[in-house]
Chain A
Amino acid sequence: MLTLLATLWQSDSAFPNGAFAFSNGIEGLAELGERLDRDRLAAVLATTLTHRWARMDAIAVLLAFAAVDDLAGLVGIDSRLEAATLPAPQRSGSRRNGLAFLTSHARIGTTGASALKVEVDARRLHGHLPVMQGALWHRCGLDETSALAASAYGAASTMVSAAVRLGLVGAVDAQRALAATLPVIAGLIEEIGARSPVSADDFASMSPLLDIATMRHATSEVRLFSN
């Protein structure tokens, strides 16, 4: 029961994890002329989760979860994630979101968070969000499957929230899109569980439209979100 409650706590939008500042490409897609109604938003969520989250963030969460007591290991995973994230707005967004998440845990007093923040402040660690999530959620009592679920749900709900705040889709249709995404998340986590052992060599991504959207958004004159 504690694992479930800890997962709900970490997935709660009231938790100050800094995600409110990021659209993770939604604002950029809108600027490209994408009409993000319910169905298109659901398709974008499925694309992002399938072609980026499952092959990049999910692996980083798992590796960091396993390396929670190994600072050198976390630094290695974090630096490989930095090298594998080619669009700069995605790198900076992941680092900034990771720092906000880490800062909240340090203030709450989560075991190990303050030590990690020292490393980030000293620039020995980039502090990418999935790496911080994997390490700190282990400390919070989540298991690996719950950590993956919280990570995927957080990625999807951040994009859905951004779409609503940008006025691209109504709140009810946004929740329909999010509900339609839950089986996608479940399927991806099952696939990950069935994979052969993963390492940082497996970081992969295939999201050219989302990449271009975030690249162009970074130089937009008017924008609501950081990426």
Chain B
Amino acid sequence: MNVAPRDPTFRVAVPDRLSPTSGRQVTAGLAFVRGGGRTVLARQHVPYPFHITRSFALDPRLPELATLYLQSASGGLYRGDRLRLDIEAGRGAHVHLTSQAATVVHRTPDAPALLTTTVTVREHAFLALTNDPFILFPEASFVSSMDVTVAVGARVIVSDGFATHDPEARGCPFDRLETCVRILDADGRLIATERSNLSGRGFAGVSSPLGTYRAMGSILVLGPRLGEIDPHALTAEVEPLGCCAGMSELPNGGGLIIRCLTMTGGNLARAMDHLFAAAFIALMGERPARRPK
């Protein structure tokens, strides 16, 4: 058996099989700061295919909270894409980044689409990053890697979700889904980490780790909470949406994780909206206003 020489550093989850010549290689960056009782986008570098809307103040009782919609201007992720997004919420900034619709991951023969996200949340800032689910098309390979750095007193909500669509009904699943999430404190110490790897055949087989469900999502709720979430009430509230959910404390006092499973991407999106609202109330003490989509 092979055991690697021990290395105290943590390897970044970038697969080495990607062709450097295929697909788009783009890095975007957003930096928010608090000023004059508001949160403003102080620095942005948003090249194609990223697109960001202007800032909206949607929550009257939280005037310091800026909400922006982040989207792909190109209709999704494609073969060989290597997209990177760096987001920073400065001390005391309050920001919610969401999307207007699901993101399609198209067929990616031999060259997975890679999305790397870094989220840095400074002292006493709040940042929510809640994209609609990724929709994996037949023969799509998608690698999603995210680092979340949380300073003392910072609050964070990060969600991800995955569903599938087979537009030609050929019974052909996606190829592979790989995800890696790391939660770190401001000194770079590891609080929690999750890496997963699922083939389309494993997803659709009789031993699928989703059971009979066909869409899955997770929400991380990090930092000090103003109120607690009742797990029984939460799971009961989303059951009418066809959602099987569970909630648990993360390791090292990092916060909460909420997992959910549904049959369809539509149900997943609705359930995730509901779960986001519960997480938002726990961290901010207010119900979030509706995010028009």
Contacts and interface: CB of A to CB of B under 8 A. Distances in A.
Given A201-B10, A219-B231, A80 B2 contact: no
A183 interface: no
Interface string A149-170: 0000000000000000000000
A51 B202 CA distance: 9
A83 B249 contact: no
A144 interface: yes
Given A50-B202, A85-B251, A86-B251, A211 B259 contact: yes
Nearest to A58: B1
B193 interface: yes
A216 B260 CA distance: 12
B31 interface: no
Q: How large is the interface on B (under 10, 10 to 19, 20 to 34, 35 or more residues)?
A: 35 or more
Given A46-B207, A83-B252, A197-B3, A208 B231 contact: no
A206 B199 CA distance: 11
B4 A203 contact: no
Contact of A207 (B5, B209, B244, B245): B209
A212 B250 contact: no
Contacts of B202: 50-51
Interface in B1-23: 1-8, 10-11
Contacts of A144: 1
A213 B6 contact: no
B3 A199 contact: yes
* B193, B197, B207, B247 — most chain A CB neighbours (10 Å): B207
A192 interface: yes
Contacts of B246: 87, 211-216
A145 B244 CA distance: 38
A168 to B, nearest CB: 15
Interface string B168-207: 0000000000000000000000111111111000100011
Contacts of B216: 208
A5 interface: no
A187 interface: no
Nearest to B7: A199
A44 B7 CA distance: 34
Interface of A: 32, 34, 43-44, 46-47, 50-51, 55, 62-63, 65-67, 73, 76, 80, 82-89, 91, 144-145, 148, 192-193, 195-199, 201-216, 218-219
